[in-house]
Amino acid sequence: MGRVSESDLRGAFDFLGSAVVGTHDNPIPRPTLAALRDLLHADDAEYFELRRSDRALLAAASSNDIVSVPGTEEALAEFGWQNPLSWRRWHPAHGPMRLSGTIRRRDLQRLNFYDAFMRPNRLRDMLKVWLWSSPASAACIHLWRSEGDFHRRDHDVLAVLQQQLIAMRERARTRRPAGGAVASLTVREAEILTWAARGASDERIAARLGVSLATVGKHLEHAYVALGVHSRAEGIGRIMLSASGGSTPD
């Protein structure tokens, strides 16, 4: 069993303090994935849930806007079964898994999965943890690096967080689906979003309300999740549209 340093434990607590619980349709949202990506020094962190019977995507989110090379989806459909960390093989009880710790690199490079998917997308190593597995579906978070491998340290920090991430997903999945629901913000979230809608910068909002810049950012992220949007502009647009009596498009 590995060991976790005091600094890594502080990092895990900081992550949990900033993590945003998502919605039924978006259980692990972008702000949370971005914080996990930064904690583990990854290039990208993704969440997805698939239906086992036909690989239909039930939920998905990413820390970055991903632009895959042409042919990526076809490569996954044809060779995804060769992935040593395939969602078909593993479940939460296995804990976090590193691709580089599961297969030797020269053996990985012999696979069509590597040649058709990983190499064109400049993916070197993967760190993966399952949050849910049943006969019907599987859900996981995976992190990618394009240069260098994940280390045991990264594995152990993710192991510390696995049950917390599972709990976040479970809390989000018990929330009502977003369709037709009326968003609800805390008074502070609404207050900060109102200042943002009036053109105030985060720095000005923090000074006006006597809070830290990080607190302003955290409240805005929570507001975005509650509203089902992904940016300041979308959040302001949603509020303005509601105030004018309009409705969002389907």
Residue 22 in tokens: 């998502």
Distance between CA atoms of 62 and 211, rounded to whole angstroms? Answer: 29
Three-state SS letters, 128-163? EEEEEECCCEEEEEEEEECCCCCCHHHHHHHHHHHH
Confidence (pTM): 0.70
Chain-centre distance of CA 86, in angstroms? 18
Query: Do 101 and 202 reside in the same domain of the chain?
Result: no
CATH of the domain at 239: 1.10.10.10
Better pLDDT: 55 or 62: 62
The whole-number pLDDT of residue 223 equals 83
**pLDDT score of 181 more than 50:** no
- Four-point Cα dihedral 231, 229, 61, 188, nearest 10: 80
pLDDT in tens, 3-38: 789 899 999 999 998 898 888 888 999 999 999 999
**DSSP, residue by residue, 204-230:** HHHHHHT--HHHHHHHHHHHHHHHT-S
Query: Do 237 and 153 reside in the same domain of the chain?
Result: no
Query: Do 158 and 236 reside in the same domain of the chain?
Result: no
Range of the domain at 107: 6-173
**In the listed set 150, 173, 196, which residue is the last one of a domain according to the structure?**
173
pLDDT in tens, 87-124: 888 999 999 999 999 999 999 999 999 999 999 999 99
Read off the amino acid at residue 200.
A
The whole-number pLDDT of residue 243 equals 52
Position 86 in a domain: yes
